[in-house]
Structure formats: C-alpha cells, structure tokens
Amino acid sequence: MPNISPSTLQIGSTIGALVLALLTIFIRLRASNKPVTVKKIIIPPLGMSTGFLMFVAPMTHIPLWWGVIALFVGWFLFSYPLIRSTHFKKLDGLIYAERSRSFIVILLGLLVVRTILHQVIEQYVSIAQSGALFFLLAFGMILRWRLFMYKEYQLFLRD
C-alpha cells in the first residue's frame, strides 16, 4: 500500500466533505418534490449508525468524554439550524418538505465550520481519531434532526 501523507489525506477529506455537502443539497432539493414518508425520515440515521463499526479499529479509539462532547455538540448545536430550517406542508393529503433557501446556506455554513474545526482538532489528535469525533458530531446532529422531523411528520398526519 502506498504511503499517503497526512496533508494529502486532509485535502482528500476536505474535498470529499465538499462533494458530500453538495450531493446532500442536491438530494434534499429533489426530495422536496416527493412526499415525505417515515421510511425516508428514519433510514439516514439507521444507515449512518453502521459507522459505529469504525470503533472496532484501535486507531479510532478516543476517550469516552471526547465522544460524549462530540455527540452533544452535534445534538444541541449543529442540529439546531437544520431543525429551524425544516418545515412541512400538506398537499392533497400528502406531506412534503418545504424548500428552504436557508437550508443550503446552513449546510454550507456547517461545512465551513466543520472544516475549520477539523483543521484545529487534527493538530492534537490523529486523522482516525478526528474522523471518529466528527462522525459522532454528525451522528448527533442527524439523529436529533431526524427525530424532530419524525415528530413533525406525525403531527401533520393527525391534521
């Protein structure tokens, strides 16, 4: 296996994050044209939960309190803008996510903050540990946002 420098890994991960953010924006905009279902709400965090398998590898091990802090930052701080920008509407008995220009700005803003945090944190931990921390942050963010979406979806079903 070729020896890859940490700076190459950092550049690759930043480009990968940018591509994923743009893909998320594209998918989210297309999804607003289709009705929301429970399945569409719960599958992303369920699929993402397989990422916890990374902690089998010793190189990703971090102190428990670091992981708890990362989860809490995602849960309480990073999920808030996503929750505030998520709204539903009911048309012909079906529930749709409303398009939000702020959602795109929020995703790009979160990407910028994540990239800056990544630069700072990688000075103190390995790339694998940094990846583990940011996975936990993202999982906390996605889980809370999707739980909010599920709750709102259930309220719209009752109307």
105-136 pLDDT, tens digit each: 887 888 788 878 888 898 899 888 988 999 99
Q: Write the Ramachandran bin of 3: left for phi over 0, alpha for psi from -120 to 50, otherwise beta.
A: beta
CA dihedral of 15, 20, 26, 31, whole degrees rounded to 10: 180
What mean pLDDT is predicted for residues 93-98?
Answer: 91
Q: What pLDDT was estimated at residue 116?
A: 87
1 within domain boundaries:
no
84 within domain boundaries:
yes
Running DSSP on this structure, what letter comes out for residue 37? -
Structural domain boundaries, residue 120: 6-158
96-108 pLDDT, tens digit each: 998 777 877 887 8
Greater pLDDT, 76 or 28: 76
Q: What pLDDT was estimated at residue 2?
A: 66
Q: How many domains does the chain have?
A: 1
pTM of the model: 0.86
